[in-house]
Amino acid sequence: MGRRIDDSSPDRHLTLIRGIYYYRRRVPGSVAARDPRAPIVKQSLLTTDLVVARAKRDLLEKADGELWASLVVGGDVDAARTKYDAAVKRVEALGFTFHTAKEIASEPLDAILKRIETLLVPSNQQGTVASAVLGSVDEPKVTFSKAFQIYRSQIAADQLRDKSEAQRRKWQQQKQSAINYFIEINEDKLIDDITRADALKLYNFWLGRIAPEKGEATHTATAGNRIIADLRIIYGRYYTHIGKKERENPFADLGYVEKKKSRPPFTAAWIRNKILVKGALAGMNDEARGVVLALIETGARPSEICNLLPEHIHANAEIPYIEITAVDEGEGKREIKTESSRRLIPLIGVAIDVFKKHPNGFPRYRHKETHMSNTLNKYFKNNGLFPTDKHKIYSFRHAFEDRMKEAGLDAELRRSLMGHTIDRPKYGEGGSLKWRHAELSKIELSYDNLII
């Protein structure tokens, strides 16, 4: 998607598409019938630099104005078009990337002479063109918040392409939070002026939250590392984007030691005797209850279950199963965590009945995985369904893996069903669905039909 710039701004008729500037202008209705480009003139300016784009825009704007004026008064159309074509060629010849005067001074002599030769062409004697070619215009000053906008709209646009609206919103909020912390501590400085001292101020601020001299920590090392990593990436990717990859990153090599923590699993006995019994989940709505029961016998991530589409549910197949996969378009558009997350999970036990009852999945929670997790965790906590305060809904996934281990399922099969990476080249499909179903059936838990 392109970003149209307000016509009332100095950047009129400029559109930014994936980092490249385009000249885009509506053909006046009075000449639309005589201009084959109607209704819209759109031409790539073949530059990522705003200064050069403005210079090229000025030439095209003037050429279009003269062409349309000639068409309005019924002048010599062929002569007008010849003049227009010559102007377009001048724009195409203006193929210089913007540099500051200091950078131009370090160019090879023949490159500098070529810039000067361009200015000797009378039609190019315009202030903006001369400024762009010779670098006499100052390099645009960009604040850190503005650099983030550029990162989001141009640099990381392809990274966001396959995400759902909810995933894009989460990505944006996380990165924006990092920028906000920096601004709160250091102000919204020009990105060129950010120093190691600024980065250390942020680092020490978070250190006080993670490892305070007195009292308990209010935040984890993981949270602090995420903030610093996002700032490091935004800063580094921005300078790589503008051709200054070698610039020293003030956020480099900063971080906190993380202690590995794993959610404790539910035991099979706890699931069977406390959860898969009549009344335990009666206070939940049908879809929330269905999600919980599906998690128990699939080991899937909560987000994978709540975002299943009808076409990914095959509860009535000869071997019932669900598909965990990315969705490339439509309302269900969503990327998955990793390529290894793409998998088929045979259904066993209570999961079969759940998906027969919910053949369309769980639309109430689709693209709302955070809301769903909060709802489930709150219910379990309030109803004493967690063995300890360290248990969370995600503990069902750990329990599923432990149950497979205890039943002696093949290690590679376990990784495949969990969506974990298998550290070897992939051969075949990892066993037939029928075989995987038979193996998984070894961990099936008994349940009361009334709970569904």
- Pair (431, 296) in one structural domain: yes
Residue 356 falls inside a structural domain: yes
**CA dist., res. 267 & res. 400, Å (int):** 9
* DSSP per-residue letters across 402-425: HHHHHTT--HHHHHHHHTPPPSS-
Structural domain of 430: 268-451
**CA dist., res. 450 & res. 444, Å (int):** 17
- Pair (129, 158) in one structural domain: no
- Pair (18, 102) in one structural domain: yes
Residue 247 falls inside a structural domain: no
Label residues 211-222 b or e (16+ Cβ within 10 Å = b). eeeeeeeeeebe
Q: How many residues does the chain have?
A: 452
- Pair (312, 395) in one structural domain: yes
Per the listing, tokens 């002479």 go with 113
Q: What is the pLDDT of residues 337-378, one digit of tens each?
A: 666 678 899 999 999 999 999 999 999 999 888 899 999 999
Which of 103, 134, 165 lies at the terminal end of a domain, its last residue? 134
Residue 254 falls inside a structural domain: no
Name the CA radius of gyration of the chain, rounded: 30
Q: What is the pLDDT of residues 287-332, one digit of tens each?
A: 999 999 999 999 999 999 999 999 999 999 999 999 988 776 666 5
Nearest Cα to 266, choosing from 384, 402, 409?
402
Residues of the chain where predicted confidence (pLDDT) is lower than 70: 1-9, 75-77, 87-140, 328-340, 422-431
- For residues 61 and 25, the answer to whether their CB atoms sit within 8 Å is yes
Q: What is the pLDDT of residue 294?
A: 96
Helix, strand, or coil (residue 363): helix
Question: How many other C-beta atoms are found inside a 10 Å radius of the C-beta of residue 127?
Answer: 11
Question: How far from chain centre, in Å, is Cα 258?
Answer: 25
pTM above 0.75, yes or no: no
- Pair (219, 318) in one structural domain: no
Residue 209 falls inside a structural domain: yes
CA distances from 112 to 54, 98, 230 (A): 21, 13, 39
- Pair (236, 286) in one structural domain: no
Residue 139 falls inside a structural domain: no
- For residues 343 and 417, the answer to whether their CB atoms sit within 8 Å is yes
- Pair (316, 207) in one structural domain: no
Which of 111, 134, 157 lies at the terminal end of a domain, its last residue? 134
Residue 250 falls inside a structural domain: no
- Pair (378, 438) in one structural domain: yes
**CA dist., res. 284 & res. 293, Å (int):** 12
- Pair (165, 274) in one structural domain: no
**CA dist., res. 313 & res. 404, Å (int):** 23
- Pair (84, 177) in one structural domain: no
Which of 241, 257, 284 lies at the terminal end of a domain, its last residue? 241
CATH, residue 433: 1.10.443.10
**CA dist., res. 194 & res. 365, Å (int):** 42
Residue 344 pairs with which residues in a beta bridge?
323
Token reading at 298: 């699939």
**CA dist., res. 153 & res. 327, Å (int):** 22
- Pair (113, 214) in one structural domain: no
Residue 217 falls inside a structural domain: yes
Q: What is the pLDDT of residues 25-54, one digit of tens each?
A: 988 888 888 888 888 988 888 777 777 788
Q: What is the pLDDT of residue 19?
A: 79
Residue 246 falls inside a structural domain: no
Nearest Cα to 100, choosing from 46, 147, 51?
51
Residue 44 pairs with which residues in a beta bridge?
22
Counted domains in the chain: 3
- Pair (283, 430) in one structural domain: yes
Q: What is the pLDDT of residue 28?
A: 87
Is the peptide bond prior to 39 cis by the omega test (within 30 degrees of 0)? Answer: yes
